[in-house]
Structure 1
């Protein structure tokens, strides 16, 4: 049987604490404004115990989001790739600074997540940034429920699936007309490694981070293949190299081991922006060069599975997103 006792509450009011002690279960207790509320809670808990379906909410009710984020950063993030963990660390800090941080996990509901989404939109965060923040929060709640023993915990992010901001349409930016020639001319004037890197990106479809991480010891020149040991999707792959790609390497200072490039990923993007401005090219990002490369592979006659093997995509849907044909490309073949 539950027991109830009066306790001093906030503002001098009387509060009622309900306590349940039953063999085979942890002690359950909670404080309410009225005895009727305490009795109703006790009936619900004891009913669940009688039916054998009770799961304690004590830990979920006593753990704040801030505390859970600290545990997530301490226990979960070290098992992820360093690049992924670094990106997630910024999102952890963002959630830790939010109004939900001092709330218990059990008290956070779908409407709270929806309100936070609206606040993010009001601060100008992009739909994709908001999506990534929600993904981290969702993973945290799922981890707390499955690995931290908080089985009773509901995931509030799942309650707002239909309210998430719409992501922009897939980009289909490709190099047009003489843009490639203008880009290389401006890159040559800019100097440094950005020109060879642009050519390399279009010849290999490698991601910016993969290019920045290239090492000489991963090159198998006789086989004309470069190993990419760490990829975005976690699966290493071997990239076949065209004669133009090999020519890029031939133009670099040779070494038996060590980094191929001195430029870091962020510097590559910054340099491309300046080169595009000098060339009078607008709306082009470094990731668009990966789109361009994948589309060129398709135009050369490679099938979808072959393109996926080169680019490292795991699904045909992703290959479709990254291969953009132009209607003009089909005219000659239509007759």
Structure 2
């Protein structure tokens, strides 16, 4: 049953029902409180009541903060995800309560971000938000619909096809020479990416205990697709590894994800290269390897791809190169 009492300058309504937690809400007038109570009791009688008290008290920023504490640390790419999610927490969208976070507000956020970053980045941010809200609905009692699922996603950008030429690689390596205050870890990281086709995260997780220079292999206990993988090392890769000083941590390349990313971008600018990202090194490496490993199964074993359709996006021979192979 419902009860009402004056609370400050307003009226507080309280509903008590067996099997339900007490529900309270404050209104300006007693009539408003009574209308609220009648409506809520009707929903309870019909079995349609959903308690949104927790959602009303919780902002999107609160959810992201809790997700960063309880969920993100156990995920792959936790360091990068943490930085990206903390950036979203600084946006105005994070201050809305979950009951007021409508699809229209998500759409406004999408449109504002499209003026600042690429469509791919916006798609990734919307996916983050959707995953966090779904987790909160399942695990934390946030009883609201997921507004992200009702918002149109930006059109996915075309897959990148950038492959560096030998001349561009030479310019880039020269621009990454560890002179002055430049880190001496960045150039070998790029050289290993080109020699092994490893992903950036795989390179940064490499440990000396998993490298066999004599047998020319590098073991990756945990990769992007969830499987362990042993990567064969070319003579070039072995030479690069042999020249890297051993760090006390046992990590081959003791630099952080974003440190490597920032230093690489500076090197690209110094080299005067256009539209080059670190992941383009993997595409370049796979394209080069395809000349030595025409068997796509062998090539996939080196690159770590489970799907040949995905591998096809990375192998980018030119029409002229294919014509020469045809004779």
TM-score over 0.5 (shorter chain): yes
What is the CA–CA distance in structure 2 between the aligned matches of 1:272 and 1:16, rounded to whole Å?
A: 61
Structure 1 length as normaliser, TM-score?
A: 0.78
Deviation at 1:23, TM superposition (A): 1.6
Cα 1:321/1:23, change in 2 over 3 Å: same
User: Does 1:159 find its partner at 2:157?
Assistant: no
Deviates more, 1:53-62 or 1:15-24: 15-24
Q: Give the paired residue count.
A: 324
Consecutive unaligned residues in structure 2, runs of 5 or more: none
Partner of 2:108: 115
User: Does 1:96 find its partner at 2:89?
Assistant: yes
Deviates more, 1:288-297 or 1:180-189: 180-189
Q: SS at 1:153's partner residue?
A: coil
Alignment of 1:75-224 (within 5 A): 75-81=70-76, 84-122=77-115, 124-150=116-142, 152-160=143-151, 162=152, 164-176=153-165, 178-184=167-173, 192=184, 194-224=186-216
Deviates more, 1:262-271 or 1:130-139: 262-271
Q: SS at 1:106's partner residue?
A: coil
Q: Is the 8 A contact 1:217 1:257 kept in 2?
A: no
Q: Is the 8 A contact 1:203 1:245 kept in 2?
A: yes
What is the CA–CA distance in structure 2 between the aligned matches of 1:65 and 1:274, rounded to whole Å?
A: 35
Partner of 2:221: 229
Q: Is the 8 A contact 2:80 2:257 kept in 1?
A: no
What is the CA–CA distance in structure 2 between the aligned matches of 1:157 and 1:77, rounded to whole Å?
A: 20
Deviations 1:33-92 (A, max 9, x none): 7888766655554444334343322221222333333322222223234xx333333344
Deviation at 1:5, TM superposition (A): 6.7
- Compute the RMSD of aligned alpha carbons: 3.6
What is the CA–CA distance in structure 2 between the aligned matches of 1:23 and 1:144, rounded to whole Å?
A: 26
Q: Is the 8 A contact 2:2 2:15 kept in 1?
A: yes
Partner of 1:24: 19
What is the CA–CA distance in structure 2 between the aligned matches of 1:176 and 1:320, rounded to whole Å?
A: 19
What is the CA–CA distance in structure 1 between the aligned matches of 2:288 and 2:246, rounded to whole Å?
A: 29
Q: SS at 2:19's partner residue?
A: coil
Partner of 1:295: 287
Structure 2 length as normaliser, TM-score?
A: 0.80
Deviates more, 1:31-40 or 1:111-120: 31-40
User: Does 1:250 find its partner at 2:242?
Assistant: yes
Partner of 1:64: 59
Deviations 1:191-232 (A, max 9, x none): 955554433212211123432343221112344210123434
Q: Is the 8 A contact 2:247 2:254 kept in 1?
A: no
